[in-house]
Amino acid sequence: MFTRSDDKITTSQAVVFLTDSILGAGILTMPRDITEKVKTPDAWLSVLLGGVVILLVVWVMTKLSQQFPGKTIFEYARSIVGKIPGSMMSLLMVIYFLVIAGFEIRILAEVNIFYLLEGTPVWAVIIPFIWTGAYLASGGINCIARLFQIIFPISIFILLLSFLLSMRLFEIDHLRPFLGDGLPPVLNGLKSSILIYTGFEIVMVLVGHMQHPEKAVKTMLLGAGIPIILYVFATMIVVGGMSISAVLRSTWPTLDLLRSFEITGLFFERFEFPFLVIWMMQMFCNFCSQFFVTSLGLSKTFGIKFPIVLFALMPILFLAALIPRTMNDLFTLGGAIGYMSVFLFVLVTVPLCLIYLIRKKGLRKHA
């Protein structure tokens, strides 16, 4: 077939899609969030352990989704637990994604106003991004995936480059002692380190849109693995470059690390600017994927046409983004989203898996 009319994404697109859905504003604040809880230089270990937990969850979700090829959670939840409970679960997912989308775009606006556009009203930053996101999302998952494929290599390149440049500040002593207080602080940080990976629930939508769902497990694990590795590196480099006490004092530790050294001989003296610019695109990608899944969920759950949902969601997203009044509210919301993610796992994924397994066994016995 020369022209593809089905809205399916290729395997590589699926990897990038999942990575972009996880990798967002987290990298800016994550080192501080984790270090606050761990209080030892072993924060990166928490991030790594949290990542392993996430990989397990992703594996479960992928396996579940693979039983229903071509279907997203919004459709198969109904066929597993019935129409009304299934719709309730879908609605929970939708609300969750909506909150993440609002959070993501608000963070984008805040970082922007703080570093680049002092004195600009929040709405002037948020509204154009919502419109652009809607324009992109109206093209369907394929267009979004294609945009991600353009942005992803650029943002990863810049991220790695900033890591590399930050290495000059890196002191291994900042990361010592390794496991000085034993494992308890690491496990303590595990709670909040799981939270930084929010957005991975998109797996349950992505698998249904894959061209080759049989490759889903490998694809999804890879897609979740990339952000985990990047997050571990980010934590190591930020903590190693700034020491714990400095990390705890700063709002955006990653950016503060980047602005604390100067590169001579380049057009930009400080690397925080190109990083911020590129990372804004990455955050936009993250926002778009949540936005798309929210609208997809709503349209599938209630049977409304996709463009109508897209339009209706724009003001709602805007309000959702403006509800937190202060930065502290915003960070509290960030934490809350993490807990929502856990709740969602307990309330949606686990019951769905169990009920599916029970039903399948029941069917086998009857047959």
How far apart (Å, rounded) are the C-alpha atoms in residues 202 and 285? Answer: 13
354 touches another protein by CB under 8 A: no
To another protein, the closest distance from the beta carbon of 159 in angstroms equals: 16
How far apart (Å, rounded) are the C-alpha atoms in residues 217 and 220? Answer: 5
Nearer CB in complex with another protein: 200/284: 284
To another protein, the closest distance from the beta carbon of 145 in angstroms equals: 8
Place of tokens 């778009």: 288
Distance of CA 340 to the CA centre of its chain: 13
To another protein, the closest distance from the beta carbon of 292 in angstroms equals: 12
151 touches another protein by CB under 8 A: yes
Instruction: Tell which positions 230-259 bind another protein, by CB under 8 A.
Output: 249-251, 256, 259
Candidates 37, 39, 63, 146; binder of another protein (CB under 8 A) is 146
Q: Where are the alpha helices (DSSP H) in the chain?
A: 11-22, 26-38, 43-66, 73-81, 83-115, 122-137, 141-166, 184-195, 203-206, 216-249, 253-258, 272-302, 306-322, 327-344, 350-366
How far apart (Å, rounded) are the C-alpha atoms in residues 282 and 263? Answer: 24
3-class secondary-structure state, position 210: strand
Nearer CB in complex with another protein: 73/237: 237
How far apart (Å, rounded) are the C-alpha atoms in residues 89 and 78? Answer: 9
Which positions from 287 to 326 touch another protein by CB under 8 A, shown as an x/- string? Answer: --------------------x---xx-xxx-xx--xxxxx
23 touches another protein by CB under 8 A: no
The pair of structure tokens assigned to 183 is 């494992």
178 touches another protein by CB under 8 A: no
CA-closest candidate to residue 291, choices 321, 261, 271, 268: 321
Nearer CB in complex with another protein: 79/332: 332
The identity of residue 134, as a single letter, is: A
Using an 8 Å Cβ cutoff, are 208 and 1 in contact?
no
Count other C-beta atoms under 10 Å from residue 273's C-beta: 16
To another protein, the closest distance from the beta carbon of 12 in angstroms equals: 6
Sequence-distant (≥ 6) Cβ neighbours of residue 239 within 8 angstroms: 31, 35, 41, 43, 44, 174, 175, 247
268 touches another protein by CB under 8 A: yes
328 touches another protein by CB under 8 A: yes
Candidates 127, 158, 232, 309; binder of another protein (CB under 8 A) is 127
To another protein, the closest distance from the beta carbon of 132 in angstroms equals: 6
| Site size for another protein (CB under 8 A) | 74
Nearer CB in complex with another protein: 66/251: 251
To another protein, the closest distance from the beta carbon of 144 in angstroms equals: 8
Stretch that binds another protein, among 47-55, 67-75, 120-128, 190-198 (CB under 8 A): 120-128
Candidates 179, 327, 346, 358; binder of another protein (CB under 8 A) is 327
Residue 9, strand partner residues = 210
136 touches another protein by CB under 8 A: yes
Distance of CA 159 to the CA centre of its chain: 16
Stretch that binds another protein, among 42-50, 166-174, 175-183, 270-278 (CB under 8 A): 270-278
Residues in the chain, overall count:
367
